[in-house]
């Protein structure tokens, strides 16, 4: 694609040097107090460089106030009501303190938090020294946002006792259930066959046999309760051991991030160690389980599964899962990470390639299970585009799965998503493809340039996306008149299709070039971020590395003028999935930039179909009558209901009964995983040859095809391709197209 290089240069800057040299003044930063200097520098860069700088006023102050306190104490287990009353005098003064480099609010809250942590260190060992009575009728409300702060240290101790009882009950239930199974001669691996990756099944069998050979001595319920209490205490001991290593600067980074994140959820301050980790992630060298994590309230939650990583390959973990405990393969007991700082939790979850870690997961549907993952480095090959033939009633259709919009940062021409997709299309055409499905589900984005280039494979020429920054607007166009595929096209999306995925889907929808099938709307991230090295402003810096600032500097717009921000892309044919009713999109984060519109670019709607709108209506009619889709929708609603439950029983019998009831309820949704779309999937000849020498690749494709055969979204995409008819003029230009 002959795309003008200048259109993209601003999008690939790793450091915001252009803005720093053009838009910023020569203001000097020379405060000898590093914290004050950082506060001054970050506020300045945000005001000068952010796409939509905030007014630093009383409302901004109140938001920082609320979020910093909540960030330190999300479950309200440290601060007392009297502390909050004392803090409140600063509620509308933080804006002035930022301008004056005054740290009074931070210092007060930080000092008090350290004091309260010392108080708690005395509370939990005392509480856990005595048995819990799980026969009492008692519940705990886990809607912490609506919980009031404790009025006294006595009230705080009572709150901790209830929370510790909840944690201990969870462990106690697991121990009791495990003992029941072992008494019946059932090992954990027999009960849950997914306890290890497929490639490690022989090793898992050996471990299971060793456990079976070990003499089993049942314990009394009192002994199990004691063991669970000891495990809870050990976890808290380790948590507070972690916190001992934290310094004032670590908490100040939290404060700075609270200020930065008031601008939008994608702007962040990176302290030097965090910047190193960010650079490592950007390089693609991800070692561990291959999942991006975020702390929500007190839980470490999965927000992205890295394509090609261990979690992705295992198919055991999904976005929205919360990790509750972590157990190393050489350890007997798991460590609870509920309440732990995310950096500390990640240290436990990550580990050397080849080692195993068992995670206790609270699944998206509310059930709790143990998942064993073999750590590894992300396999880059699995992040690349891959294709398959779909056969149905003697007709052939093509499927291309694109996990992300990748490119080589050193040399764009070396390998990128656009050139790979083009190759797969040509290969599919050679085999007689009559229609193409492009699968962008779970694709979180990547290179904007590749998105523009891929759009160019399907249209003659024209604008693909508009990019706005600081009052300027650029229209990024496909300027190559070549069309690689001008036959029927369907694009699959879901709630996790974001950024570049949304740009491509939106462009194809605006041109009426493709029919979009999937979730009600995509993720809704329509912004661009750049990373700014904060050290560049200091001529004489004897304070060491100041870190970096990731800042939102631009915004995407569709060719029709609408933003993809918050709104995402609305599917032409909506098909619910398990994420339909839960919070996973941009709109569910605090402080997102708003949706807006600009003038539309000049573009010509595709005239290659004769029944575009009729095909959409036919698909909608099919979906309205589809029983499998209704079951998926019921499952999504059920998941939402379970996640909204805030009252948890601390009575063992009732707690156990609720879990069993939940397990029974989930059985009616087994049909979702047992579905057969009656389609045949086949690898292309070039890959079939590779698989003769590469048995691992062969197994991966077999698993992929097996999953595709259960996929009703692919099935409906094929129905739509069957319905789409090309007009006579266009059909004459397409080789081997049957209507």
Catalytic residues: 499, 510, 525
Q: How many CB atoms within 10 Å of residue 555? A: 22
Backbone φ and ψ for 330, nearest 5 degrees, come out as -100, 10
What DSSP line would sit under 364-397, residue for residue?
Answer: TTS-EEEEEEE-EE--GGGGS-EEEEEEETTEEE
Residues contacting 223, CB < 8 A, separation 6+: none
What are the Cα distances from residue 256, in Å, to 112, 470, 550, 593? 18, 24, 12, 20
Residues contacting 1, CB < 8 A, separation 6+: 418, 452, 453, 456, 478, 479, 480
State how far the Cα of 718 lies from the Cα of 707, in Å rounded to an integer: 16
CA atoms within 13 A on the CB side of 488: 28
State how far the Cα of 14 lies from the Cα of 447, in Å rounded to an integer: 13
CB 671 within 8 A of CB 628: yes
State how far the Cα of 639 lies from the Cα of 174, in Å rounded to an integer: 22
Of 354, 384, 355, 376, which is closest to residue 286 (Cα–Cα)? 376
CB 511 within 8 A of CB 3: no
In the structure encoding, which two tokens stand for residue 667, read together? 């059985």
CB 294 within 8 A of CB 342: yes
Classify burial at 463, counting beta carbons within 10 Å of its beta carbon; exposed 0-12, middle 13-18, buried 19 or more: buried
Question: For 251-282, what is the HEC assignment?
Answer: HHHHHHHHHHCCCCCCCEEECHHHHHHHHHHH
Secondary structure element (H or E) that encloses residue 533, with its range: strand 527-533
Chain centroid to Cα 63, Å, comes to 25
Secondary structure element (H or E) that encloses residue 475, with its range: strand 472-478
Residues contacting 450, CB < 8 A, separation 6+: 405, 406, 407, 416, 417, 418, 500
Chain centroid to Cα 211, Å, comes to 36
Backbone φ and ψ for 82, nearest 5 degrees, come out as -65, -35
Of 223, 194, 196, 190, which is closest to residue 208 (Cα–Cα)? 190
CB 435 within 8 A of CB 490: yes
State how far the Cα of 639 lies from the Cα of 207, in Å rounded to an integer: 34
What are the Cα distances from residue 620, in Å, to 227, 507, 564? 55, 22, 23
CB 159 within 8 A of CB 150: yes
Chain centroid to Cα 471, Å, comes to 31
CB 700 within 8 A of CB 407: no
State how far the Cα of 537 lies from the Cα of 188, in Å rounded to an integer: 57
């Amino acid at each position: 694609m002959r795309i003008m290089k200048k259109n993209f240069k601003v999008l690939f800057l790793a450091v915001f040097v252009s803005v720093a040299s053009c838009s910023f003044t020569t203001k000097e930063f020379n405060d000898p107090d590093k914290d004050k200097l950082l506060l001054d520098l970050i506020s300045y860069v945000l005001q000068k460089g952010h796409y939509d700088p905030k007014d630093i006023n009383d409302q901004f102050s109140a938001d920082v106030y609320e979020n910093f306190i909540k960030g330190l104490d999300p479950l309200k287990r440290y601060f007392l009501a009297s502390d909050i009353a004392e803090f409140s005098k600063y509620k509308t003064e933080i804006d002035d303190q930022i301008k004056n480099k005054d740290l009074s609010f931070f210092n007060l809250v930080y000092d008090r938090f350290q004091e309260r942590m010392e108080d708690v260190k005395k509370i939990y060992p005392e509480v856990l020294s005595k048995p819990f009575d799980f026969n009492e009728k008692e519940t705990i409300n886990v809607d912490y946002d609506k919980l009031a702060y404790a009025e006294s240290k006595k009230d705080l101790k009572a709150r901790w006792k209830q929370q510790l009882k909840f944690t201990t009950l969870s462990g106690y239930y697991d121990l009791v259930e495990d003992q029941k199974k072992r008494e019946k001669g059932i090992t954990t691996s027999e009960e849950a066959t997914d306890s290890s990756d497929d490639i490690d099944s022989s090793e898992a069998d050996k471990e299971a046999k060793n456990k079976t050979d070990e003499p089993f001595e049942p314990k009394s319920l009192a002994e199990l309760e004691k063991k669970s209490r000891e495990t809870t205490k050990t976890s808290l001991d380790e948590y507070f051991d972690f916190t001992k290593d934290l310094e004032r600067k670590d908490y100040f980074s939290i404060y700075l991030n609270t200020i930065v994140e008031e601008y939008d959820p994608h702007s962040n301050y990176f302290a030097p160690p965090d910047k190193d980790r960010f650079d490592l992630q950007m390089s693609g060298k991800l070692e561990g389980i291959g999942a991006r994590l975020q702390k929500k309230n007190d839980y470490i939650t999965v927000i992205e599964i890295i394509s090609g990583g261990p979690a992705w390959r295992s198919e055991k973990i999904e976005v929205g899962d919360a990790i509750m405990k972590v157990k190393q393969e050489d350890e007997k007991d798991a460590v609870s990470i509920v309440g732990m700082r995310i950096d500390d939790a990640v240290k436990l979850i990550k580990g050397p390639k080849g080692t195993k870690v068992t995670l206790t997961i609270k699944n998206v549907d509310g059930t709790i299970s143990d998942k064993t993952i073999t750590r590894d480095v992300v396999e880059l090959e699995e992040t690349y585009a891959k294709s398959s033939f779909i056969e149905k009633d003697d007709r052939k259709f093509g499927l291309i799965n694109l996990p992300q919009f990748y490119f080589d940062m050193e040399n764009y021409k070396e390998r990128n998503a656009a050139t790979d997709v083009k190759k797969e299309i040509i290969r599919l055409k050679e085999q007689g493809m009559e229609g193409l499905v492009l699968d962008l589900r779970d694709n979180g984005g990547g290179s904007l340039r590749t998105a523009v280039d891929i759009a160019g494979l399907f249209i003659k020429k024209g604008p693909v996306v508009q990019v706005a920054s600081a009052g300027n607007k650029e229209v990024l166009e496909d300027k190559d008149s070549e069309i690689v595929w001008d036959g029927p096209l369907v694009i699959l999306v879901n709630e996790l299709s974001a950024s570049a995925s949304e740009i491509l889907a939106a462009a194809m929808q605006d041109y009426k070039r493709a029919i979009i099938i999937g979730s009600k709307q995509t993720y809704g991230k329509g912004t661009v971020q750049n990373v700014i090295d904060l050290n560049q402003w200091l001529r004489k810096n004897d304070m060491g590395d100041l870190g970096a600032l990731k800042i939102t500097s631009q915004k995407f717009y569709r060719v029709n003028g609408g933003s993809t921000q918050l709104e995402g892309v609305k599917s032409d044919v909506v098909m619910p999935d398990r994420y339909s009713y839960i919070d996973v999109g941009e709109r569910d984060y605090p402080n997102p930039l708003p949706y807006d519109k600009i003038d539309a670019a000049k573009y010509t709607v595709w005239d290659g179909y004769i029944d575009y709108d009729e095909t959409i209506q036919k698909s909608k009619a099919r979906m309205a009558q589809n029983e499998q889709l209704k079951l998926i929708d019921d499952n999504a609603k059920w998941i939402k209901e379970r996640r909204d439950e805030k009252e948890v029983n601390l009575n063992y019998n009732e707690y156990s009964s609720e879990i069993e009831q939940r397990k029974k309820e989930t059985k009616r949704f087994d049909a979702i995983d047992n579905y057969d779309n009656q389609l045949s999937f086949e690898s292309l000849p070039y890959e079939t040859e590779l698989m003769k020498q590469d048995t691992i690749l062969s197994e991966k494709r077999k698993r992929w095809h097996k999953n595709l055969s259960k996929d009703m979204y692919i099935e409906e995409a094929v129905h739509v391709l069957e319905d789409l008819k090309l007009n006579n003029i266009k059909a004459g230009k397409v080789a081997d197209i049957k209507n």
